[in-house]
Amino acid sequence: MAELFSDLTERPLKETVCLFDVDGTLSPARLHASPEMLQTLAALRHKCAIGFVGGSNLVKQEEQLGTPSISVISLFDFCFSENGLTAYRMGKQLASQSFIGWLGQEKYQRLARWVLRYIANIEGIPKMTGTFIEFRNGMINVSPVGRNASKEERDEFEAWDKKTNTRTKMIEALKKEFPDYGLTYSIGGQISFDVFPTGWDKTYCLQYIEAEKDVSGIEYKNIHFFGDKAFEGGNDWEIYSDERTIGHSVKNPEDTIRILKETFGI
Ligand code: M1P
């Protein structure tokens, strides 16, 4: 049964919000969060506001965090998919911008053709599946093995990429080819990288947290962020190192639970 949570203004730590990366922080990569994690988050939500900020789209976050009876948008006060380009507050969707609106169809087509040609010419790739470009609202996701890869194919690609640096080399080539596009390329997971306008990294979602002063009257003084890719080049780096947040670098979901228990006494 769905638990009831008090209004944001009535939580004991009402000036505190905890934001979490998803893969590797709340759940193992691409897998579901554990019951212990969901219980810990629910306990935390009785104390302060909680939200996730993930690179993936909402469909994937629903699979990884939602349950058959409760949708992910009811489990968190703030849901930031695609770094916040798709955003929900208390179950209601907020206005957002789009990647294609920002870049334009003509430039996008040039980029997409180049990407597909580059992937077609990669030598020695262990497997190719399908969906080499996933077109999302706020970004595109590029995967040389393809987004249809199974768990085994993902692991195989990741190991091969560690040896060959295929993704890093492709990003370098993209930067050289499209120097004036104003895009950022970010490796956040096992088999792909995200491409979005510079500035639309995870710090993008902080505007919604700051806007709470005008929406609910709450000025969040303590914005905690938890992420497992909190190193330069990782997709948690910008928000982790942003002066507006208190960054926590975690090793895995168990580590997140440990820090939450120690920090918030839950
Ligand atoms: O959330 C981290 C990343 O998760 C996926 O990465 P991959 O499929 O490579 O493991 C993608 O959804 C990616 O967009 C996201 O940043």
Q: Distance between CA atoms of 68 and 47, rounded to whole angstroms?
A: 25
Q: Is residue 90 part of a domain?
A: no
Confidence grade of residue 1 (pLDDT, cut at 50, 70, 90): low
Type of residue found at 249: S
171 and 118, same structural domain?
Answer: yes
**Are residues 104 and 63 part of one domain?**
no
Ligand 1 closest atom vs CA 54: 1
Residue-range definition of the domain harbouring residue 55: 14-85+200-264
Q: 141 and 81, same structural domain?
A: no
pLDDT over threshold 70, residue 260: yes
Q: Are residues 79 and 211 in the same domain?
A: yes
- pTM of the predicted model as reported, rounded to 2 decimal places: 0.87
Q: Are residues 170 and 115 in the same domain?
A: yes
Given a cut of 80, whether residue 252 has pLDDT beyond it is: yes
End-to-end CA, the chain: 21
Claim to verify: residue 112 and residue 143 sit in the same structural domain:
yes
| Residues sharing a CB contact under 8 Å with residue 58, sequence separation 6 or more, in sequence order | 72, 73, 79, 81, 86
pLDDT digits over 129-186, tens only? 999 999 999 999 999 999 999 999 999 999 999 999 999 999 999 999 999 999 999 9
Strand segments, DSSP code E, in the chain are 16-20, 49-53, 78-81, 86-89, 92-93, 133-135, 140-142, 183-186, 193-197, 222-227, 245-249
Residues marked active site are found at 21, 23
Task: Please check if 154 is assigned to a binding site.
Answer: yes
Domains: count for the chain: 2
For residues 168 and 116, membership in a common domain is answered with yes
**pLDDT at site 79:** 98
Q: From the CA of 235, give the closest atom in ligand 1.
A: 16
CB count within 10 Å of CB 230 equals 21
Verify that 110 and 179 share a domain, yes or no.
yes
Of 33-37, 92-96, 227-231, the one with minimum mean pLDDT is: 92-96
* Same domain (yes/no): 112, 176: yes
Question: Minimal CA–CA distance to 141: which of 98, 187, 88?
Answer: 187
Within a domain: 93 = no
For residues 78 and 204, membership in a common domain is answered with yes
CATH at residue 65: 3.40.50.1000
Residue of 194, 200, 229, 237 to test ligand 1 pocket, by largest number of atoms within 8 Å of CB: 194
What CATH code is carried by the domain that includes residue 167? 3.30.1240.20
Average pLDDT over residues 89-106: 95
Percent of all residues in the chain with a pLDDT value above 70, rounded to a whole number: 99
3-state secondary structure of 18: strand
Helices 166-177 + 105-120 axis angle, to 10: 140
The CA-atom distances, in angstroms, between 5 and each of 2, 10, 51 are 9, 9, 14
234 and 182 co-located in one domain? no
Please state, rounded to an integer, the average pLDDT across all residues of the chain. 96
Atom from ligand 1 closest to the CA of residue 29: 10
Contacts of 151-155 spanning 24+ positions with Cβ under 8 A: 151/30, 153/126, 153/127, 153/129, 154/30, 154/190, 154/191, 155/190
Ligand 1 centre from 29 Cα, in Å? 8
pLDDT band at 21 (very low <50, low <70, confident <90, very high): very high
Residue-wise pLDDT tens digits, 221-240 = 999 999 999 998 889 999 99
Residue 242 counted as an annotated binding residue:
yes
Residues 78 and 103 in one domain: no
Q: Which of 187, 212, 238 is the last residue of a domain?
A: 187
